Structure 1
Amino acid sequence: MVGRQFRISAITTTREGLYMTKIWVKGLSVSLCAVMTATSLAACSGGKEAASSENSGSGNAPANAAGSGKLSEKEREVKVTFPEHPNQPVKNFALVQQEIFKQTNIKLKFETVPNSNYNDKKKTLLATNNLPDIIQIDMSDVNNFGSTGVFLPLLQYMNKGMMPNFKKFWDQYPDIMKLTADGELYGFPAIGRNELKNGFGPVIRTDLLQKHNLPVPKTFDELLTVLAELKKLYPDSTPFSVRKGSGPIHQLFKTMAYPLGSGVGGGNGIYFDKDLNGGQYVYGPATPQFKEVLGYFNKAFSMGVLDKDYAVATQQQWTEKLTSGKSFFFFDNSGFALDYTKQLQKAVPDGKFQIIPTPANKTGQARAEFYATTLTDKMFAISSKAKDPETLIKLLDWMYTEKASNLMSYGVEGVHHTLDEKGQPKLNADYVMKFKDGQPTPFYAMYSDLGSGKLSFTPWFANMDPQVQVEKLTGSWSPVHEEYWKTIADDKAYHDPYIDPPLTKEEAARVKEILAPLNTMLEQEYDKFIMGVKKIDEYDAVMKKARDTGGAELEKIYNDALARLKQKK
């Protein structure tokens, strides 16, 4: 009980501090640029003094390991687990990790898991409390496991002044409070810098639209009409293809339910609908609007437009259909349009995938969400059983310095990048050109070689800026890119994502308890309606059962949590 009382006291102090800090920021107009400038100045000093400066953002900040000027006096191996994306294979102890070792005395050993299996593996590690030193988690993991004691609680260290670099972000972005559970922070959030905005969006073969004089669809109904026309013209085609169709929440629903008028959030069915009663949380699968979504996919399936294998298609199969010329449309990460156009043109020289403005749904609305480009719910948690947790705290806090972020996003200064007259990293052309023919793209090949970027272990990441630099240096940048980013910038349907409010320990436990049987029940039903095994009107009974089984209670839990958070601001 003593430990719990101490933590609550620390948390109360932090909340008060956050409130006071918000007022101070408004009064003095402090910006992230000021934070970055301060960090940059620290990075300009040499040797031992530079290392000390970077960790002296607070009067109570700890000094680096005595004598060495490094974070750890002795060499230390730290095991880190995160998902390995198929586009960016992980090289253990890659160039960035080698430099981190030189600067900190900490050797990062990556124990990655294939992206497709990561959630299952992560749940096993969390349930058995068999964690590496550091593991990538998200907010659902915090809600489900934060109270079990598997993660190291962080606010006590910040309150002691041991996280000065991260605290600048804590003060800058009050929404980080939404990543807490019961007032405690269990993970260092991945934060983006200078990111271009995109998200799930509609991508179609615009060359085929032009060739056959077909209009750019302005509504979702028009989209099906256009795809049906393409099916007539190319009978052996699969006009609309999908990846990762199976699971408790289909990829179809994750990407398209919200634009079609309903939603499923990050995968548990709960989402924030800004258009309902001024904005509130809704359990999507238990609403009439979701029945309309199912009806839309059923229509696409029955017309022969939607891939008949949508429920079992892998990402590799999806990619092959799109880049071989067999499929013409997807609604997913729209950035794939740029990669897939290049691959498609090997088979179809004039082929072009391009994003189009978000179509209007049945209510006449066009709506879509950007990906989180600054504050994300991806976090890096420290195991509560890790040895010498204070060194791990120092490591992760150091990663929020501009010097470390430059290293982990652009590689080693003077080798892989230099700083321009404004102090901004510019990739070295000679290094970049080694990846001109890299697969699946030059920038992913470079990120893999460096061990850098958003898909690696990088708490403060730059992703789009180095990507654009690589594309321009290798000649990959083209009018297709210009058109892509302009279309998104001009599309008023997009808005920034919402971060869910923090739940109490009891609420998180109840959500977990509700979702287990609810997901199992619904997972068995979705495909029956899409494939026409059951008539759409029969979903009314499923919808009622979903609400009675816990859907309505989930809405209350999240809306109560949101109201509670608003009262504290």
Structure 2
Amino acid sequence: MTKRWMKTASLAVAAAVLATGAAACSGGKEAEKTAAPQSASPAGGASTNPVSAKEREVTVTFPEHPNQPVKNQAFVQQEILKQTNIKLKFENVPQSNYSDKKKTLLATNNLPDIIQIDMNDVNSFASSGLFLPLKQYMDKGLLPNFKKFWDQYPDMAKFTANGELYGFPAVGRNELKNGFGPVIRTDLLEKHNLGVPKSYDELLTVLQELKKLYPDSVPFSVRKGSTSMHQMFKTMSYSLGSGVGGGGNGIYFDKDKNGGQYVFGPATPEFKEVLTFFNKAYSSGVLDKDYAVATQQQWTEKLTSGKSFFFFDNSGFALDYTKQLKAAVPAGKFELIPVPTNKTGKARAEFYATTLSSDRIFAISSKAKDPETLIRMFDWMYTEKASNLMSYGVEGVHHTLDEKGQPKLKADYVSKFKEGQPTSFYAMYSELGSGKLSFTPYFANMDPQVQVEKLLGTWSDIHEKYWKTIADDKAYVDPVMDPPLTKEESSRVKELLAPLNTMLEQEYDKFVMGLKKIDDYDAVIKKAKDSGATEIEKIYNDALARLK
């Protein structure tokens, strides 16, 4: 345990009180020429023009994903030290505990030099002076590479609070698009002459037929996730005609509502259709009776053992789950299908954010020593050269550049991870210290993954079909980033959400399980509006109008 965590633990009681308040881009070569001082040395060589005149250790905290264990002083960190004189020391927290640890660090102002935050943290803590304001450095010309992205993406303005920027947003590069989508055992559809369902009514009919054919099965399974809002609401509500937002707090942007506006989904008549669908699935025996408490591990076991046939979640799971399923059912295959139409006749789905995301922001502590050196480090990290390193490893060792100057992983290096767990590419990312799940302000994640799959021969027709299905499905739209809220607005939203969500969470299961009639939900809608849902909608829509 680090000294920082020991100190933090001793302040836990006080922190608990305080904490409650609490894309594809082509790369930047032109900006790189005018960047702040950086290494001009070849990979592995001595630094001749470093970001820092002398070696400096910088502490960084970000969540450690279970799929990608963090190794301090991995290859990428070692090369960053050679090229910049910056020694990155990672002080990681397991992803499952990161939110609580982060709240404590923020509430006690006991931050590392750099910490990964999200826009909720910016809205809650920016005015408290915890984070270094960054615009002053852009105005001084110290962030030419980052400013290229600032000028390129208007949504960068959504990372501000009261007009100031308090963190560096992670920028994705060459990312393939996918999202929550419908995945089904197509081998069973073929075997029993069941057509691919084109509507949600047809989907229920197909799953009911499979339940008759396999009485001991759980045709439709879900994972609860890490919050009290059921995962099935978070993944499917938008497609069914309503929504609950990415964080499951009820507020979301609906492009089909009055030309596009924020809506508190559970406080609308449209949400009755969401509950109706799940009630039909539950009462017919199609939906897992344990949906409210199922863990991801249980969900995975049901799908890969042949007990469950359908899920609507991160559709990329279809590829890995098909591999695992074949051990139990050699002919089995999970495939993504086009998004079904809902009661209004519309097919709706959202991509994940691929270029900018409000949940990966790297803030510099206002107490960090010599902030200009950290500013120069970040600006260097937004160059294509640094992005290549942080995404593909060291040039000449782990990758080479093709005739177009694009990184290509070396086959002999990738071959080491043929038996890597949980997947070959995650095992490689872990050893390199690369990819989206590491400390990478400008990253490529999907392109190196595809390269690994193809070099190891695990890329197949199923992969090609998966990505083509998404590309051809016009139901998917890009997500809308939430506008920045003022500290007062953010505080008011939290004040309203806590009792509102508590009330709603006590009601959902009663309607899904048939303990209450769907028409009785009208009273819940009225109570939700009276309890603040309407005010929350106004706050978000006013913030959006103000930003425009």
Q: Structure 1 residue 440: deviation in Å? A: 1.9
Q: Which residues of 2 match residues 231-242 of structure 1 at below 5 A?
A: 231-242=211-222
Q: Does 1:360 align with 2:341?
A: yes
Pairing partner for 1:512 from 491, 494, 502: 494
Would you tell me which structure has more helix in proportion to its own residues?
Answer: 1
Q: Which residue number corresponds to residue 380 of structure 2? A: 398
TM-score by length of 2: 0.90
Q: Which residue number corresponds to residue 547 of structure 1? A: 529
Report the AA paired with residue 356 of structure 1: I
2:408 match: secondary structure: strand
Q: Which residue number corresponds to residue 9 of structure 2? A: none
Quickly say closer, same or farther: Cα 1:74–1:520, change in 2 above 3 A: farther
1:347 match: secondary structure: coil
Q: Which residue number corresponds to residue 3 of structure 1? A: none
**CA displacement, residues 270-310 of structure 1 (integer Å, 9 cap, x when unaligned):** 11111111111101111111122122112212222112222
Q: Which residues of 2 match residues 303-382 of structure 1 at below 5 A?
A: 303-377=284-358, 378-382=360-364
Quickly say closer, same or farther: Cα 1:374–1:477, change in 2 above 3 A: same
1:32 touches 1:172 (CA, 8 Å); kept in 2? no
Aligned length: 520
**CA displacement, residues 520-547 of structure 1 (integer Å, 9 cap, x when unaligned):** 2222222232233333233222221111
1:246 touches 1:311 (CA, 8 Å); kept in 2? no
Q: How far apart in 2 are the matches of 1:121 and 1:210?
A: 49
Report the AA paired with residue 100 of structure 1: I
- Which has the higher mean CA deviation after the structures are superposed, 287-296 or 352-361? 287-296
Pairing partner for 2:100 from 112, 117, 120: 120
1:411 touches 1:417 (CA, 8 Å); kept in 2? yes
Report the AA paired with residue 540 of structure 1: D
1:248 touches 1:522 (CA, 8 Å); kept in 2? no
Q: Which residue number corresponds to residue 409 of structure 1? A: 391
Report the AA paired with residue 273 of structure 2: E
Pairing partner for 1:222 from 186, 198, 202: 202
TM-score by length of 1: 0.87
Q: How far apart in 2 are the matches of 1:402 and 1:246?
A: 35
1:248 touches 1:519 (CA, 8 Å); kept in 2? no
- Which has the higher mean CA deviation after the structures are superposed, 109-118 or 99-108? 109-118
Q: Structure 1 residue 110: deviation in Å? A: 1.9
Q: Structure 1 residue 254: deviation in Å? A: 1.4
2:29 touches 2:383 (CA, 8 Å); kept in 1? no
Extract structure 1 runs of 4+ deviating beyond 4 A.
31-35, 39-43, 45-51
Report the AA paired with residue 161 of structure 2: A
Report the AA paired with residue 501 of structure 2: N
**CA displacement, residues 298-324 of structure 1 (integer Å, 9 cap, x when unaligned):** 221222211222222222222222112
Q: How far apart in 2 are the matches of 1:263 and 1:425?
A: 39
Q: Which residues of 2 match residues 45-194 of structure 1 at below 5 A?
A: 48=40, 69-194=49-174
1:35 touches 1:168 (CA, 8 Å); kept in 2? no
* Structure 1 segments unaligned to the other structure (5+ residues): 1-30, 52-66
Q: How far apart in 1 are the matches of 2:226 and 2:57?
A: 38
The CA RMSD over aligned residues, in Å, is 2.2
Q: How far apart in 2 are the matches of 1:46 and 1:297?
A: 56
Report the AA paired with residue 377 of structure 2: L
Q: Does 1:562 align with 2:527?
A: no
1:245 touches 1:310 (CA, 8 Å); kept in 2? no
Pairing partner for 2:258 from 256, 277, 281: 277
2:435 touches 2:444 (CA, 8 Å); kept in 1? yes
Pairing partner for 1:470 from 427, 441, 452: 452
* Structure 2 segments unaligned to the other structure (5+ residues): 1-22
Q: Structure 1 residue 68: deviation in Å? A: 5.8
Q: Which residues of 2 match residues 230-269 of structure 1 at below 5 A?
A: 230-245=210-225, 247-267=227-247, 268-269=249-250
Q: Does 1:36 align with 2:16?
A: no
1:346 match: secondary structure: coil
Q: How far apart in 1 are the matches of 2:335 and 2:54?
A: 52
1:488 match: secondary structure: helix
